Amino acid sequence: MRISSQVFFQRNTTSIMAQQSKLSQQNLHLSTQKRVISGADDPVAMAAIQRLKQQLSINTQNINNGHKAQSANAIEDTALGQVTNILQRVRELTVSSGNGTLNAEAREANAMELEGLREELIGVANTRDGSSQYIFAGYEVDTKPFQKNEFGSIEYHGNDGSNSFQIGTGVSVKVNDSGSSIFTDIPNGNGIYLAEGGNSNTGSGAIDAGSVIDRDLAASFAEENFTIAINKSGTSQAQYSVYGINDSAITGSASLKISQIDLNDPNINNVLPGSTYPNTDSNVDIQFIANGAGFDISINGQAALPTFDPSQGLQTVTVDGISVEIKGMPVVTDIYKLTHYQAPIDYTEGQSIEFNGLKTMLKGDVHDGDTFSLTKSENEDIFSTIQGAIDALRIKGSQSVFSAQREMRLNMSLSQIDNAMANISQIRTSVGARMRTIENQREATLDFSLTNQKTLSKLEDLDMASAISDFQLQLSLLEVTQQTFIKMQSLDLFRLI
| Single-letter amino acid code for the residue at 32 | T
Closest CA to 384 of 175, 148, 92: 148
Give the separation between CA 391 and CA 217, rounded to whole angstroms: 36
- Show the domains of the chain with their CATH numbers: 34-188+379-461 (1.20.1330.10), 193-377 (no CATH)
State the first-to-last Cα distance of the chain, in angstroms, to the nearest integer.
12
Residue 272 main-chain phi, psi, to 5 deg: -85, 145
State the pTM of this model. 0.74
Closest CA to 227 of 252, 253, 262, 202: 262
**pLDDT in tens for each of the 497 residues of the chain?**
444 555 556 666 666 666 665 656 656 566 566 666 665 666 776 777 678 778 888 888 888 988 898 999 999 999 999 999 999 999 999 999 887 778 889 999 999 999 999 999 999 999 999 889 999 999 999 999 999 988 888 999 999 888 888 888 888 898 889 999 999 988 888 788 888 888 888 888 889 888 899 989 998 998 899 999 999 876 678 899 999 999 888 888 898 989 888 888 899 999 999 999 999 899 999 999 888 778 888 999 998 778 888 888 889 999 999 999 999 999 888 899 999 999 899 998 888 999 999 999 998 889 998 999 998 888 899 999 999 999 999 988 777 788 888 888 888 888 899 999 999 999 999 999 999 999 998 888 888 888 877 876 676 656 556 656 665 665 666 566 666 666 655 555 445 55
Give the separation between CA 312 and CA 289, rounded to whole angstroms: 17
Q: Over 24-59, what HEC string results? A: HHHHHHHHHCECCCCCCCCHHHHHHHHHHHHHHHHH
* Residue 161, CA distances (Å) to 65, 181, 324 in order: 19, 10, 39
